[in-house]
Amino acid sequence: MTWIDTLLIHIYLLAIFATAIKPKVPLSLYRTLKWLATLFCVYIIVALIWRLHPVDWSFIFILRVLPLPLIVYVLLRTEVADLMRSLGFRSGRKLANTIEAKVKLGLLESVERLSARKIGALITFERGDALDEFVNPAFTVDAPLGADLLLTIFMPNTPMHDGAVIIRRNRIVSAGSYFPHTDVSDIPKQLGSRHRAAIGISEITDAFTVVVSEETGNISVAVDGTLDRDISQESLILYVERYLEH
């Protein structure tokens, strides 16, 4: 085994490792690790190009060079997705998750009722980035989004009320999901774990999250790493139209 083969194996392992630790480490550390891994990939590509012989080209391209772009994409898929969205591209999956009118009404009704009763809630819509790693360990629901169902899930002292509901293609796919909390230090102290989790998932994915505070009943939304606090129902409608209707 050559030194190139050894480095390639390490890069494959690093890609798997980076994917596994994504929800478990601070965002700044995770991105630093990804950029370091990318530098390794570039180094390997340059080394391969300068050491190639014509007779070996097809074999080395298939077995060594071809997997490298896939590794780079795994390590940088969040940044790639952000770049594509900033350029105006919309993935087919994102279009497929466009919120339906009746689901929109159910969401607005449920949030209004949760807010009025001061029942804490964390409602996350999957958009372009898959949330399977948070769906799989949670409670499976697989039911249409409805106000009564959301109220039941988030009712205090039930097994699922502390976690997040994840909505995919207008259906509640899971409940009781737990997201990594943000490491941002300047968040107001009165914000609880739901708000920190909402910011955390918006930092590592393009998910759109609605938060209802159990202390005040106030409504907030988290998307693209930011939290807009204490918004009105009218503002929530505008957010839904912007991020979930395309």
Tens-place pLDDT, residues 18-70: 555 554 444 555 566 667 667 766 766 666 666 654 444 444 454 455 555 55
Q: Final residue of a domain: which of 89, 104, 122?
A: 89
Percent of all residues in the chain with a pLDDT value above 90, rounded to a whole number: 36
Mean pLDDT of 173-182: 93
pTM for the predicted model, two decimal places: 0.62
Residue 243: count of CB within 10 angstroms of its CB: 18
Name the domain count of the chain.
Answer: 2
Same domain membership, residue 117 and residue 30? no
Same domain membership, residue 14 and residue 70? yes
Same domain membership, residue 124 and residue 226? yes
Q: Which domain holds residue 66?
A: 3-89
Same domain membership, residue 73 and residue 8? yes
Q: What is the pLDDT of residue 242?
A: 85
Q: Copy the structure tokens of residue 83.
A: 């770049």
Same domain membership, residue 223 and residue 116? yes
Choose from 54-58, 114-118, 129-133, 242-246 the range with maximum mean pLDDT.
114-118
Q: Which of 78, 87, 163 is nearest to 127 (CA)?
A: 78
Is the pLDDT at 157 greater than 90? The verdict is: no
Q: Could you tell me which residue, 191 or 24, shows the higher pLDDT?
A: 191
Same domain membership, residue 132 and residue 75? no
Same domain membership, residue 61 and residue 138? no
Q: What is the pLDDT of residue 100?
A: 74
E-strand ranges in the chain read: 121-125, 139-144, 164-168, 171-177, 208-212, 219-223, 226-231
Tens-place pLDDT, residues 64-96: 555 555 555 555 555 565 566 556 554 444 433
Tens-place pLDDT, residues 231-246: 998 899 889 988 887 5
Same domain membership, residue 73 and residue 30? yes
Same domain membership, residue 211 and residue 102? yes
Q: Copy the structure tokens of residue 71.
A: 């590794």
Q: How high is the mean pLDDT of the chain?
A: 77
Mean pLDDT of 100-122: 90
Q: Measured on CA atoms in the order 200, 203, 204, 206, is the torsion positive or negative? A: positive
Coil/strand/helix, residue 141: strand
Q: Which residues are CB-neighbours of 240 under 8 A, at least 6 positions away?
A: 99, 104, 107, 108
